[in-house]
Amino acid sequence: MNRLLSVRGLKVGFGRGNAAKTVVHGVDFDLEPGETLAIVGESGSGKSVTALSINRLIDDGGGRILGGRMEFTTARGEVIDLACATDRRMETIRGSEIGMIFQEPMTSLNPVIPIGRQIEEAFRLQRGLGRAAARLETLNALERVRIPDAERRLGYYPHQLSGGMLQRVMIAMALAANPRLLIADEPTTALDVSVQAQIMALLAELRRETGTGMIFITHDMGLVAGIADRVLVMIAGRVVEQGRLDDIFDRPRHPYTQHLLQAVPHFSHGRKVRRHMSPAGREMARPALKVEGLTVRFPATAGLLRRPVGAIHAVEGIGFDVMPGETLAVVGESGSGKSTTARALLGLVKPSSGTFSVMSAEGLARRKPMQMVFQNPYASLNPRLDVEGLLAEPVLAGGVRPDASTRQRMVALLERVGLPADSLRRFPHEFSGGQRQRLCIARALMVDPSVLVLDEAVSALDVSVQARVLDLLIDLQNELKLAYLFVSHDMAVVERIAHRIAVLYAGRIVEIGRADAVLSNPRHDYTRRLIAAVPTTERRRDVFRLETAAVPSLLRPRGYEPPEAVWQVCGEDHQVLVERAAAAKEIR
């Protein structure tokens, strides 16, 4: 049997004439049928460009293949050089021989056409099926990607489905014609951990079932371990290392590969957590932030007349306290209410009930004592203000006119977060993602807060940048005795920074306690599931199991009041919510 794909000396460039720029400088690799190759590298390393060159979508993106051969063996045994195949030829190959999954499922689907119709179209184009036959195949395809209740979902529009479901739809479409090669370009980057694990499991299972060869592009070494047979590491358009998975992971030769492996936050089940103060000491201290019974409900309406039918109980009776110099991590998947909690504390959404109080570090509430750092550093800085204007914002909001001392503080803070002092006159677009997040941190620190709410503050960053920003946060905390409320879905990151952890599920805290206790001895089912979904470099190949349990609906009928939460204490500073079914059993 022939090789599926053999790439030799692939060179790709963008632009013409003076502006021409080569971004991929001679890439070689082979792929056997049914094999999975992971292409790893940080943003801008040319990994996506390489993949897009294989199905020649790069032509539409303004790129050009400058040299090299890409020999692809079709199902009929023909060998085609994809580098110089005609457009018409490529059209027959794309989809039917080479399928592709993109990073953003939301933007890859047409928002105004039901998903059933979109998948049907793929079948009709690829296999020339009639309407009824295509419909039947579509149903099968949806079941193949484990979409529950497939028949009803055919009529759904993309916005009615979650990100994970949409990515499944994309996979179903990519597999419509049983392609021999599937290119997955960061298919899980936009999803959160537990959904990511589901998609990875699906890909692994489909590969076993269909024997499709796969090229998997990612920047996350942790994911590679679970799925790849072979790994190719790229840096600045060149391959610096390639080989079998175990060789690369156990004996990385190139310093960059070693760096990438080290940058993966290693999750060690709570062995590496930070210690702060003893539970006894905590009892004595005055909390910097104290939250009691925080509840946020959004009214839900139905029908033409917007009749109120109930309420979405986004956050339900949450209570915790955070000491100065301590990090409380709030973990959970999207829809668990963790961001709503953060937003309620900052006054961005109105809580329905509950109280919270903030104590400034020195006991005097001089200025706004709580500040927030957002997830997306690209969106949370006004692109039209320069750094000086951005940093002045919280000061201006406090009604203070910026003066020379403000400016001094700006320079000092910029230096403290590791940005050049001449940044003041520059604009956000001149900074990288990591630098922008540093800028956001500096902005939040302008008014001496005692509590910093970090809403997925490092989730949007590359792994190595992530590690450095975390270090900065830890240093700042130690220095300024800041209390952090660290909202995250990434258990490995949480392990590095948290002293205590609160696990949120369906708007309620289901487990809270010391980080080492929660991570090493998770008591709630959901906590265990979250921890099981963490990808690591130690667990290799097919460790992802398919989990279809969805987040339960938070819509409650009018006037519904949840029963009192029952807590079970399981060790020093570690308690878990007793689920209602279990509680009922105990009472009986």
| Interface with another protein (CB under 8 A) | 343, 346-348, 368, 370-372, 374-376, 379-386, 393-394, 396-398, 427, 429-430, 440, 443, 447
Name which of 315 and 453 has its Cβ closer to another protein: 453
Name which of 21 and 88 has its Cβ closer to another protein: 21
Q: How far apart are CB 445 and another protein at their closest, in Å? A: 12
Name which of 429 and 558 has its Cβ closer to another protein: 429
Name which of 446 and 576 has its Cβ closer to another protein: 446
| Contact criterion met (CB below 8 Å) for 530 and 331 | yes
Name which of 104 and 386 has its Cβ closer to another protein: 386
Q: How far apart are CB 313 and another protein at their closest, in Å? A: 22
Q: How far apart are CB 337 and another protein at their closest, in Å? A: 17
Name which of 398 and 552 has its Cβ closer to another protein: 398
DSSP calls for 526-587? HHHHHHHT---SSS-SS------PPPPP-EEETT--PPPPEEEE-STTEEEEEPHHHHHHHH
- Within 8 A by CB and 6+ apart from 578, the residues are 566, 567, 568, 586
Residue ranges of alpha helices (H) inside 145-254 are 150-153, 163-174, 193-210, 221-227, 245-250
Q: How far apart are CB 432 and another protein at their closest, in Å? A: 14
| Contact criterion met (CB below 8 Å) for 300 and 553 | no
Name which of 61 and 347 has its Cβ closer to another protein: 347
Name which of 212 and 339 has its Cβ closer to another protein: 339
Name which of 397 and 549 has its Cβ closer to another protein: 397
Q: Which amino acid is at 388?
A: E
Name which of 130 and 399 has its Cβ closer to another protein: 399
How far is it, in rounded angstroms, from Cα 29 to Cα 232? 8
Q: 516 φ, ψ to 5°?
A: -65, -35
Q: How far apart are CB 185 and another protein at their closest, in Å? A: 26
Q: How far apart are CB 42 and another protein at their closest, in Å? A: 22
Residue ranges of alpha helices (H) inside 69-218 are 87-93, 105-108, 115-127, 131-144, 150-153, 163-174, 193-210
Q: How far apart are CB 379 and another protein at their closest, in Å? A: 4
Q: How far apart are CB 384 and another protein at their closest, in Å? A: 4
Q: How far apart are CB 368 and another protein at their closest, in Å? A: 5
Q: How far apart are CB 440 and another protein at their closest, in Å? A: 8
Name which of 19 and 587 has its Cβ closer to another protein: 19
How far is it, in rounded angstroms, from Cα 515 to Cα 328? 9
How far is it, in rounded angstroms, from Cα 194 to Cα 309? 31
Give CA angle at 282 (280, 286), nearest 5°: 135
- Within 8 A by CB and 6+ apart from 206, the residues are 144, 145, 171, 175, 212
Q: How far apart are CB 448 and another protein at their closest, in Å? A: 13
Q: How far apart are CB 386 and another protein at their closest, in Å? A: 7
How far is it, in rounded angstroms, from Cα 575 to Cα 502? 10
Name which of 216 and 486 has its Cβ closer to another protein: 486
How far is it, in rounded angstroms, from Cα 335 to Cα 410? 36
Q: Which amino acid is at 353?
A: S
- Within 8 A by CB and 6+ apart from 260, the residues are 40, 42, 221, 233, 463, 464
DSSP calls for 314-371? EEEEEEEEE-TT-EEEEE--TTSSHHHHHHHHTTSS--SEEEEEE--TTS---S--EE
Name which of 59 and 386 has its Cβ closer to another protein: 386
| Contact criterion met (CB below 8 Å) for 41 and 76 | no
| Contact criterion met (CB below 8 Å) for 297 and 281 | no
CA distances from 288 to 3, 30, 66, 325 (A): 62, 57, 60, 9
With CA atoms as reference, report the closest residue to 447 among 486, 484, 393, 403. 393
Q: How far apart are CB 393 and another protein at their closest, in Å? A: 6
The count of other CB atoms within 10 Å of the CB of residue 542 is 14
| Contact criterion met (CB below 8 Å) for 181 and 213 | yes
Q: How far apart are CB 429 and another protein at their closest, in Å? A: 5
Write the DSSP symbol of residue 395. H
Q: 58 pairs with which residues across the strands?
A: none
| Contact criterion met (CB below 8 Å) for 165 and 31 | no
Name which of 218 and 380 has its Cβ closer to another protein: 380
